[in-house]
Amino acid sequence: MSPRITIRDVAARAGVSAGAVSLAFNDRPGLSAPTRERIRAAAIELGWTPHTAAHRLARATPADGTVGLVLARPARQLGLEPFYTEFISGIAGVIAERSGSLLLRLVHDRDRETAVHRAWWKDRRVAGCILVDLTEDDPRIPALARLGMPAVAAGHPGLTDGRAAAVWTDDAAAVEEAVRYLALLGHRRIARVGGDPALGHTAIRTRALERTAADLGLEPARSLPTDFSGRAGARATRDLLASAVDRPTAIIYDNDIMAVAGAAVARELGLHIPGDLSLIAWDDSQLCRLTHPPLSAMSHDVHGFGAQVVRSLYDLIDRRPVTPGPAPTPVLVPRGSSAPPRAA
């Protein structure tokens, strides 16, 4: 982690004295317009304001253990996605042990997210933050490193490039287990209803699916992209099942709600689960046990994952040795939605 930004850093970046920075920010005379502009640009780049500095002095403890989380997902979707509610409840439980709070913000895009991080850190509204939905070359990682705000990424370390602590689940190993299980049952045409292809973990799963299918000599495995909503999961399932010729006999879903929606589509089309079509859900929230048949799933403790992420963040905040690392890998829980294919 880089240390906190001070007036000296701004001065060094602008090539002036600390006194000049002070003049610029107090709107005092004695500086040329270009110098004033250069100082302001340096301060913006470093995320520094004089208000921040004064504020930091005024508050000894950083925001009583409050942790920030920005989500770039639509509000309605947030309420319908079991992963996020479980993840947030896991975070909130650990924060409560420390008498802290979770500062939650919804935004439309990642640029806005970085602006929120900067404002929160300046005003000492949070002691650190949690990053989710990592992309490859995620712009938030270098922005946070520049800011010096403690942050833990819930995502594979390959996506953080060693510039942020990471807690992750081994999605590639989990996909491989799911595909090997389906192959063992006799499935040769396996497809997947994936998530947002811009997200790093979606890409990791896609590559693992294609590689494992090739290793096992199965037919090439298709992955269709979605926005993780039940509606998109239903549409992708219809697309996959539309062809009677190369219709898959098994579908892996990237979350539970899409698997539940997919099961309803299969029934609409008169397909028997699991005889005509095997389904495997992902996350294994309570939804998987409420359907008929109950859904086989790649199961992991999402609540515990959220707790592990925020514990690592508190290690960082408290300057204790951080032990980021993988959370337990999701394990296959076979239920009534997976079986050998009838036609095989």
**Of the candidate residues 18, 53, 106, 218, the single one contacting a second copy (CB under 8 A):** 106
What whole-number distance in Å separates Cα of residue 197 and Cα of residue 213?
19
Peptide bond connecting 274 to the previous residue in cis, omega within 30 degrees of 0: yes
Number of C-alpha atoms within 13 angstroms, CB side, residue 55?
A: 15
Parallel, antiparallel or unpaired: strands 331-333 and 296-299: antiparallel
Single out the residue of 75, 242, 244, 245 in contact with a second copy (rule: CB under 8 A). 75
> For the window 278-317, what string marks contact with a second copy as x by the rule CB under 8 A?
--------xx--xxx----------x--------------
Which helix (H) or strand (E) is 296 found in, with range?
strand 296-299
85 binds a second copy (CB under 8 A): yes
Total count of residues recorded for the chain: 344
Binding to a second copy (CB under 8 A) within 26-65 occurs at 51, 54-55, 58, 64
Distance from C-alpha of 37 to C-alpha of 32, rounded to nearest angstrom: 9
Question: By C-alpha distance, which of 42, 43, 21, 40 is closest to 30?
Answer: 21
Q: Does 270 bind a second copy (CB under 8 A)?
A: no
Pair 120, 103: CB distance under 8 Å: yes
8 Å CB contact between 151 and 129: yes
92 is a site residue for a second copy (CB under 8 A): yes
Q: Which stretch binds a second copy (CB under 8 A): 2-10, 83-91, 240-248, 326-334?
A: 83-91
- Candidate list 31, 80, 145, 332; residue touching a second copy; CB under 8 A: 80
> What character string, x for contact with a second copy (CB under 8 A) and - otherwise, covers 108-147?
--------x--x-----x----------------------
Tokens of 93: 């439980």
Contact 179, 213 (CB under 8 A): yes
Should residue 104 be labelled a site residue for a second copy when binding is judged by CB under 8 A? Answer: yes
216 binds a second copy (CB under 8 A): no
196-234 residues labelled b (16+ CB within 10 A) or e (exposed): beebbbbbbbbebbbebbeebebeebbbbbbebbbebbb
What x-and-dash track marks residues 224-243 binding a second copy by CB under 8 A? ------x-------------
Pick the binder of a second copy from 93, 148, 158, 225 (CB under 8 A).
93
**Of 40-48, 73-81, 215-223, 268-276, which part binds a second copy (CB under 8 A)?**
73-81
CA distance 181 to 5: 52
**Residues in touch with a second copy (CB under 8 A):** 51, 54-55, 58, 64, 66, 68, 74-76, 78-80, 82, 85-86, 88-90, 92-93, 95-96, 100-107, 116, 119, 125, 230, 257, 260, 286-287, 290-292, 303
